[in-house]
Structure 1
Amino acid sequence: MQIAPLSPHDPTELGGYELLGRIGHGGMGQVYLGESPGGEPAAVKVIKPSVVDSETRQRFAQEVEILKTIWGARIAALLDADPEADRPWLATEYIEGLDLSRHVASHGPLPSLLTASLGATLAEALASVHKQGLLHRDLKPANVLLGPNGPKIIDFGLAVFAESSVSLTAPNTVVGTPSCMPPEQANGEKPLTPAVDVYALGAVLLFAASGHLPYQAANIHVLFHQVTDPAKTPDLSGVPDELVPLLTAMLAHQAQDRPALDDVVKQCRTLIESQGFKVAQARRRLTSHTAAPTQILDSLLHPAEAPTVPFSPAGEPEAGATAEPPTTTGTGTEATRVLPPTGPDPTHTLVDHPEPQPEAAGAMGPAQNPPSAPTADTGQAPSPLPAPGPPAKARGERPRHSAQARITAQRLREAYAASATF
């Protein structure tokens, strides 16, 4: 999975970050792959101009304030933000890897050992978030990124303070992803408790182990009815037997019947140890199994090695000696935002275990279940190396950080223009 090129209407710089390509988009904003002046990659989230109003700014500012309070090894870190800018933006740690939804769609469900490792890791991460007085409220497979150092949780755009009764949503409006939403959240009950994240984690682990979510329906109203109906039990088909008791408890209809996150960690440890592994060993196996190759990001952000050109004894290049310019290809997948309480429910399309292909992508929210997301692909970039862009203007435009970054951004724009329909 590669980075989509910038469109002609995209900014090329925000808050000192050079924007190199698109990671994903949703109803509220666009997420770009950015590069800091020091060369640090970042996921830069920008609110679309068409939806920038006072309420959107207030919600975005709340997201920034929440991200400032969250820390942990399994949480994508906030790097910088400016909710008061003409185009409000925030930058978070870029995690190079597939999200859980895309990994399962491409490579199939995880074995029980790795699912238990994922459960222990994410449960511990959510417990640390809850200790900070916060709830995620929108945990789903697309919000779990499988990076080179293990899984991390992203997109706290719907996070709320656990004790807060203040809501920026309209009355009787339910915000979140219905397929992973517990009954009390779907019913609009307030205040919500940490049990909502336990249920959502159960849905994530069910998806990891089986390739499907607890409830599935073509119509969102039918889906909401399934989620809120106490007589309708979650679909646990395809789940390994040893995981069924844990997932059944985590997906219990009543919040008080679900285990605490500490208990989830303990049960996952027991499952891991029953298979003859230590937790740390299972974590390493999970990371090794899910980590994606890194050559895509490397080709975007790091200059290629200097070509070898033969020189004459006098120090001049020999006649006819040329250097092959580096080439870059660009494809991308855009992801959608949280589902509104009306409209069709996304349908996951799973493929039958294809041969793994070199893939690498990373994102910070807003990401939605990618199998339903539209895809924008571009072909091979033109082979001639484009001329470097113009120098910085006197009006204060910042020069690009490196020749490779300038060349890459120019090539992506040209590739996009060649394939665009407008």
Structure 2
Amino acid sequence: MQITPLNPEDPLSLGDFELLGRIGQGGMGQVFLGESLGGEPAAVKVIKPSVVDSASRKRFAQEIEVLKTIWGPRIAAFLGADAEAEQPWLATEYVAGPDLARHVEKDGPLPSVLTAALGAILAEALSAVHTQGLLHRDLKPANILLGPNGPKIIDFGLAAFAESSVSLTAPNQVVGTPVCMAPEQAAGEKPLTPAVDVYALGAVLLFAAAGHYPHQAATPYMVFHLVTDPDAAPDLSDAPADLVPLLTAMLTHRAQDRPSLVEVVQRCRSVVEAHGLKIAQARRRLTAHTARQHTPVAPPPAPAPPPTVPFADLPTTPAPAVHEPVPTADVEVPTPTLPAPPATTATERPETRPPTTAEHVDSPEGPPGQRSAPSRPPKSPPHPAEPSRTLRHSVQARRTAERIRAAYAAGAPFVPSRTA
């Protein structure tokens, strides 16, 4: 799911939800990605200020009351709302994944076994909604999110009580998506029955498996005409052969001739089992398939760093030419090819501590590389990547530094070492 930055006019918070970005919009409002005080992500829907009036507030309040009664593992959960706020809003569970429409457009139709698994999942979810005395009435691919834990149904904004004249729309007004709308719903018949969601689910499964809808035309009016015409058969071209019988039954013109959602679940299971899988296996494959195909939206690229200007191109102030001092204390000085220095006395040695295992110093008591027993446990050897600092503390290194000082003393001032 693509997330875009907030616009300057967008609110920064609504209720207890901080708004983080935009994730979608519709005719009535904008949908934001929000986060609760406890860090719970949410999809926060806000009515556009241009359409906020008493009628829209009443409908929004009704929608909120309906959503409070809907629950189920495949339903995006209700998290909070305020219909009386200056900008009315409601928050539901955020599902991190593309909707079915975007997935099919980007990655192509689903295999028949995965489409059957999707059908079983959605039919079972809708059946649970129907037992609560509700209908969805606007099931479509854009309202099915393919999340990391499986598909979930969203947007019950047009939900209405089944077998009742109660409606969230004005009388004789048809609201919904024509390409997924049942004939009786398109014709404005009331009361509606659970068969409208069976038809819509059939249209969704046809789109998932074939990439098109039962009836398509140049204008919504022409689509309404095809949907309500009993002689216009649905277009099942490109649908997998093992799904055609089920889709034909679900998309039949007469509501009473369509199967129940329980029967849809059983027939979807039969298709899955005909492929040698169990329904649980097919569900897992569906989730893995959609998660693998979905590529998260990349964040915007970081701004390019400012161009680097070569040191030679920078403006400079003329200054007397001097020789650059030679560092001696912060870099390792390679051993020069010089005659061996004369033996030193104890008073010439710069340090009295016993050498560590990293400092192999010739000892007069033994052969080269052998040292006297220390008065304390030896230190651990340094990390292999740490450069040796033996020459910085040896008499030979100090004599070498003295010779370098003498060589450059006539031309440049000497910078004393920080540790010498």
Task: Tell whether the structures are fold-level matches, with TM greater than 0.5.
Answer: yes
- Residue 54 in structure 1 maps to residue 18 in structure 2: no
C-alpha contact (below 8 Å) 2:123/2:262 kept by paired residues: yes
Label 1:55 to 1:31 Cα distance change in 2 as closer, same or farther (>3 A): same
Aligned residue for 1:161?
A: 161
Q: Deviations over 1:197-248 (max 9, x none)?
A: 0000000000000000111111111111000000000000000100000000
C-alpha contact (below 8 Å) 1:97/1:360 kept by paired residues: no
Aligned residue for 1:320?
A: none
Residue type matched to 2:253 in 1?
H
Aligned residue for 2:364?
A: none
| Aligned ranges 1:157-196 → 2 under 5 Å | 157-196=157-196
Q: Deviations over 1:3-42 (max 9, x none)?
A: 1111110001111111110001111110000011111110
Q: Deviations over 1:152-210 (max 9, x none)?
A: 00000000011320234233211000000010000000000000000000000000000
Return the alpha-carbon distance in structure 2 between the equivalents of residues 2 and 257 of structure 1: 40
TM-fit CA distance, 1:270: 0.6
Return the alpha-carbon distance in structure 1 between the equivalents of residues 303 and 73 of structure 2: 40
Describe the SS at the equivalent of 2:19: strand
- Which residue of 366, 377, 380 corresponds with 2:301? 380
Return the alpha-carbon distance in structure 2 between the equivalents of residues 164 and 9 of structure 1: 41
C-alpha contact (below 8 Å) 1:195/1:256 kept by paired residues: yes
Label 1:116 to 1:360 Cα distance change in 2 as closer, same or farther (>3 A): farther
Residue type matched to 1:86 in 2?
E
Residue type matched to 1:228 in 2?
T
- Residue 148 in structure 1 maps to residue 85 in structure 2: no
Return the alpha-carbon distance in structure 2 between the equivalents of residues 19 and 11 of structure 1: 7
Aligned residue for 2:201?
A: 201
Return the alpha-carbon distance in structure 2 between the equivalents of residues 86 and 114 of structure 1: 44
Describe the SS at the equivalent of 1:284: helix
Residue type matched to 2:97 in 1?
G
Describe the SS at the equivalent of 1:103: helix
Return the alpha-carbon distance in structure 1 between the equivalents of residues 297 and 71 of structure 2: 25
- Which residue of 344, 347, 358 corresponds with 2:295? 358
Aligned residue for 2:261?
A: 261
TM-fit CA distance, 1:381: 5.1
Return the alpha-carbon distance in structure 2 between the equivalents of residues 247 and 137 of structure 1: 18
Residue type matched to 1:266 in 2?
Q
Return the alpha-carbon distance in structure 2 between the equivalents of residues 291 and 43 of structure 1: 20
Aligned residue for 1:41?
A: 41
- Residue 229 in structure 1 maps to residue 229 in structure 2: yes
Residue type matched to 1:130 in 2?
H
Return the alpha-carbon distance in structure 2 between the equivalents of residues 58 and 163 of structure 1: 22
Return the alpha-carbon distance in structure 2 between the equivalents of residues 263 and 44 of structure 1: 35
TM-fit CA distance, 1:357: 6.4
C-alpha contact (below 8 Å) 2:62/2:168 kept by paired residues: no
Label 1:226 to 1:83 Cα distance change in 2 as closer, same or farther (>3 A): same
Return the alpha-carbon distance in structure 1 between the equivalents of residues 86 and 304 of structure 2: 37
C-alpha contact (below 8 Å) 1:130/1:194 kept by paired residues: yes
Aligned residue for 1:272?
A: 272
| Aligned ranges 1:83-122 → 2 under 5 Å | 83-122=83-122
C-alpha contact (below 8 Å) 2:161/2:167 kept by paired residues: no
Return the alpha-carbon distance in structure 1 between the equivalents of residues 268 and 58 of structure 2: 39
Return the alpha-carbon distance in structure 1 between the equivalents of residues 2 and 257 of structure 2: 42
C-alpha contact (below 8 Å) 2:141/2:204 kept by paired residues: yes
Return the alpha-carbon distance in structure 1 between the equivalents of residues 139 and 176 of structure 2: 9
Describe the SS at the equivalent of 2:215: coil
Describe the SS at the equivalent of 1:291: helix
TM-fit CA distance, 1:82: 0.7
Q: Which has the larger radius of gyration?
A: 2
TM-fit CA distance, 1:358: 1.9
Residue type matched to 1:214 in 2?
P
Describe the SS at the equivalent of 1:19: strand
Label 1:187 to 1:357 Cα distance change in 2 as closer, same or farther (>3 A): closer
Q: Deviations over 1:276-302 (max 9, x none)?
A: 00000000000000126xxxxxxxxxx
Return the alpha-carbon distance in structure 2 between the equivalents of residues 12 and 383 of structure 1: 28
Return the alpha-carbon distance in structure 2 between the equivalents of residues 108 and 163 of structure 1: 37
C-alpha contact (below 8 Å) 2:160/2:168 kept by paired residues: no
Return the alpha-carbon distance in structure 2 between the equivalents of residues 259 and 59 of structure 1: 32
TM-fit CA distance, 1:383: 5.7
Residue type matched to 2:122 in 1?
L
Aligned residue for 1:28?
A: 28
C-alpha contact (below 8 Å) 1:98/1:360 kept by paired residues: no
Return the alpha-carbon distance in structure 2 between the equivalents of residues 156 and 380 of structure 1: 36
Residue type matched to 1:380 in 2?
P
Return the alpha-carbon distance in structure 2 between the equivalents of residues 357 and 157 of structure 1: 27
Q: Compute the TM-score of the two structures, normalised by the length of structure 2.
A: 0.71
Residue type matched to 2:296 in 1?
E
Over the aligned positions, Cα root-mean-square deviation in angstroms equals 1.5
Aligned residue for 1:210?
A: 210
Return the alpha-carbon distance in structure 2 between the equivalents of residues 269 and 381 of structure 1: 48
Return the alpha-carbon distance in structure 1 between the equivalents of residues 117 and 9 of structure 2: 43
Return the alpha-carbon distance in structure 1 between the equivalents of residues 28 and 86 of structure 2: 15
Aligned residue for 1:81?
A: 81
Describe the SS at the equivalent of 1:8: coil
C-alpha contact (below 8 Å) 1:180/1:199 kept by paired residues: yes
Return the alpha-carbon distance in structure 2 between the equivalents of residues 382 and 61 of structure 1: 44
Q: Compute the TM-score of the two structures, normalised by the length of structure 1.
A: 0.70
Describe the SS at the equivalent of 1:118: helix
C-alpha contact (below 8 Å) 2:123/2:265 kept by paired residues: yes
Return the alpha-carbon distance in structure 2 between the equivalents of residues 357 and 128 of structure 1: 28
Return the alpha-carbon distance in structure 2 between the equivalents of residues 381 and 162 of structure 1: 52
Describe the SS at the equivalent of 2:198: helix
Residue type matched to 2:35 in 1?
E
The size of the alignment, in residue pairs, is: 305
Return the alpha-carbon distance in structure 2 between the equivalents of residues 54 and 118 of structure 1: 39
| Aligned ranges 1:120-135 → 2 under 5 Å | 120-135=120-135
Q: Deviations over 1:298-345 (max 9, x none)?
A: xxxxxxxxxxxxxxxxxxxxxxxxxxxxxxxxxxxxxxxxxxxxxxxx
